[in-house]
């Protein structure tokens, strides 16, 4: 985040590769931790994301690649004729390679690329109709860190480029990449609620979130850059479009492309110290609540104050009526008994994932109070999702403040594309909190990020805050 009047440097997108932020989470096939051997079902990592539903059986590494390719091809055999009026022809060459052995490199249009094309990469070459992947570094590492589903996502994305070639689709690089993400979401949707041989658990979608963070562009990369893929925030939105609407919903990515966060706001700010950031942010929240809601703004629902304490245990003890069970890590929550927001250990999250990851926890607590002021009997999961959506609407105004878009003149802060990716990391790392600091059970990070995205792109009207 940045102070609105300050001159700022370009912010770094928080991704697993660009800024050394790693995300340990529970996949649907068992705990997954970076650096493990490619046997996710037997890993002993401690999950730090939301609780995971019943795990599905893990696919072995080679089995996963083979089964996902078969399923992706079956998906497009069913849908390509209906969506694009083209008969499906499978990709001719599916080629694993070793980046350290040039004899295994597939050429593209008769030429070999530089080493950078092959190391830690997967790609589609249209002239030779080949999908190729680093089978010695990238794929084994992804499998070890995230489980089998992320291999399917990468293959579905590259197969999406093959579909673009078959349907003669052409557009700016970033929209071609996002359309391929959308196609991968459409394929993933076919694995949910199915009786087929491959089935996804809801927690697999959290693995998808971590995977998109891995492959997101840096916030410093202009979207006009050749081979730009989009920020994690934009890529997840494209994936979700496919998940929600199917392949047909991806067609418009080239004819009527969606807004992109990377295009709206250029540049960004460094990480502000929390002591400077939090007071300005809370002042801005009052302005945003009034500006977004007009005469009906729930400003009265804003908590009286923010209290930052030494630890999560002290935070829970400070709130009358809060549970006293064991807990660890960064926390921020609304305490109705005191009409206060308590926060603790934010510095840890600030250091690990950036200022907006830490800010998001506090913003979510404030939004929780405001959602409860409108409908205090609402289910705790719906309160949490409504708060995520409200934070998304607030974030859009801070985001617009970095451009020429009209926003309240007195706003102190701005957001950059990198901040939005920091929010995603924060949601993955820290579970949602209900009033009194209680964890919200069975609420997936993917659901929360989707709600945040709804508020960001569609405003408070998309948040279903009452009723």
**Of 451 and 173, the one with more pLDDT:** 451
pTM: 0.82
Q: Over pLDDT 70: what percentage of the chain?
A: 77
Identity of the highest mean pLDDT range in 48-62, 363-377, 448-462: 448-462
What is the predicted pLDDT for the residue at 125?
A: 94
Grade residue 5 by pLDDT with cuts at 50, 70 and 90: very low
Return the closest-CA partner of residue 185 out of 64, 55, 72: 72
Identity of the highest mean pLDDT range in 153-162, 426-435, 457-466: 153-162
What element of type H or E holds 413? strand 413-414
**Of 74 and 12, the one with more pLDDT:** 74
| pLDDT greater than 70 at residue 305 | yes
What is the predicted pLDDT for the residue at 178?
A: 93
**Helical ranges in 294-444 per DSSP H:** 312-318, 346-353, 355-374, 380-400, 417-429
pLDDT in tens, 225-239: 445 557 788 889 999
| pLDDT greater than 90 at residue 364 | yes
What is the C-alpha to C-alpha distance for residues 184 and 155, in angstroms, rounded to an integer? Answer: 8
Sign (positive/negative) of CA torsion 156, 204, 121, 174? positive
What is the predicted pLDDT for the residue at 404?
A: 60
What element of type H or E holds 331? strand 331-335
pLDDT in tens, 379-395: 899 999 999 999 999 99
Contacts of 82 (CB under 8 A, 6+ apart): 248
Which of 10-14, 112-116, 282-286, 408-412 has the weakest average pLDDT?
10-14
| pLDDT greater than 90 at residue 55 | no
What is the predicted pLDDT for the residue at 49?
A: 35
Which pair of structure tokens corresponds to residue 146?
Answer: 């995230």
Average pLDDT over residues 9-34: 31
Which of 108-122, 196-210, 271-285, 385-399 has the weakest average pLDDT?
196-210
What is the predicted pLDDT for the residue at 25?
A: 38
What is the C-alpha to C-alpha distance for residues 68 and 74, in angstroms, rounded to an integer? Answer: 10
Grade residue 187 by pLDDT with cuts at 50, 70 and 90: very high
**Of 48 and 83, the one with more pLDDT:** 83
What element of type H or E holds 340? strand 340-344
Average pLDDT over residues 334-360: 92
What is the predicted pLDDT for the residue at 244?
A: 94
Angular region, 263: left φ>0, alpha ψ -120 to 50, beta rest: alpha
Average pLDDT over residues 132-148: 94
| Locus of tokens 């809601």 | 293
| pLDDT greater than 50 at residue 270 | yes
**C-alpha pair distances (Å), 49 with each of 181, 387, 444:** 23, 18, 8
What is the predicted pLDDT for the residue at 408?
A: 61
What is the C-alpha to C-alpha distance for residues 53 and 399, in angstroms, rounded to an integer? Answer: 35
Q: What is the mean pLDDT of the chain?
A: 80
| pLDDT greater than 70 at residue 21 | no
What is the C-alpha to C-alpha distance for residues 124 and 105, in angstroms, rounded to an integer? Answer: 13
Average pLDDT over residues 100-121: 90
Identity of the highest mean pLDDT range in 19-23, 249-253, 371-375: 249-253
**Of 58 and 151, the one with more pLDDT:** 151
What is the predicted pLDDT for the residue at 129?
A: 97
Q: Over pLDDT 90: what percentage of the chain?
A: 44
Return the closest-CA partner of residue 267 out of 399, 177, 423: 399
Q: For the purposes of burial, counting CB atoms within 10 Å of the CB of 127, is it exposed (0-12), middle (13-18) or buried (19 or more)?
A: exposed
């Amino acid at each position: 985040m940045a102070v609105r009047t300050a001159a700022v440097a370009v912010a770094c997108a928080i991704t697993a590769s660009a800024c050394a932020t790693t995300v340990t989470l529970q996949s649907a096939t068992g705990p997954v931790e970076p650096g493990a051997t490619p046997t996710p079902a037997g890993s002993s990592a401690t999950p730090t994301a939301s609780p995971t539903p019943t795990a599905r059986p893990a696919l072995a590494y080679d089995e996963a690649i083979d089964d996902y390719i078969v399923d992706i091809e079956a998906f497009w055999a069913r849908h390509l004729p209906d969506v694009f009026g083209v008969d499906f022809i499978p990709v001719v060459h599916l080629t694993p390679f070793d980046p350290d052995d040039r004899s295994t490199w597939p050429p593209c249009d008769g030429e070999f690329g530089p080493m950078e094309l092959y190391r830690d990469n997967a790609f589609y070459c249209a002239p030779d109709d080949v999908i190729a992947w680093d089978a010695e570094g990238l794929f084994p590492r992804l499998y070890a860190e995230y489980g089998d589903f992320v291999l399917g996502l990468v293959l579905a994305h590259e197969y999406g480029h093959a579909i673009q070639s078959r349907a003669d689709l052409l557009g700016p690089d970033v929209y071609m990449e996002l359309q391929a993400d959308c196609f991968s979401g459409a394929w993933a949707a076919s694995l949910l609620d199915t009786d087929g041989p491959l089935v996804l658990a809801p927690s697999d979608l959290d693995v998808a979130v971590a995977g998109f963070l891995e492959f997101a562009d840096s916030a410093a990369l202009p979207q006009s850059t050749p081979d730009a893929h989009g920020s994690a925030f934009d890529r997840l939105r494209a994936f979700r479009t496919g998940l929600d609407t199917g392949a047909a919903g991806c067609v418009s990515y080239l004819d009527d492309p969606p807004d992109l966060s990377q295009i709206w706001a250029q540049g960004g700010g460094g990480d502000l110290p929390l002591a400077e950031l939090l007071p300005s942010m809370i002042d801005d929240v009052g302005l945003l609540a009034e500006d977004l809601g007009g005469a009906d703004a729930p400003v009265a629902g804003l908590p009286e104050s923010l209290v930052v304490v030494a630890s999560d245990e002290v935070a829970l003890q400070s709130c009358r009526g809060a549970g006293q069970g064991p807990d660890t890590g960064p926390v921020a929550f609304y305490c109705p008994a005191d009409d206060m927001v308590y926060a603790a250990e934010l510095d840890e999250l600030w250091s690990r994932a950036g200022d907006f990851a830490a800010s998001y926890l506090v913003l979510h607590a404030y939004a929780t109070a405001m959602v409860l002021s409108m409908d205090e009997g609402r289910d705790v999961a719906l309160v949490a999702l409504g708060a995520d959506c409200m934070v998304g609407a607030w974030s859009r105004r801070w985001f617009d403040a970095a451009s020429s878009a009209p926003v309240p003149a007195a706003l102190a802060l701005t957001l950059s594309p990198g901040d939005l990716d920091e929010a995603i990391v924060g949601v993955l790392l820290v579970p949602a909190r209900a009033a009194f600091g209680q964890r919200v059970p069975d609420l997936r990070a993917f659901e929360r990020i989707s709600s945040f995205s709804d508020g960001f792109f569609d405003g408070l009207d998309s948040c279903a805050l009452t009723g």
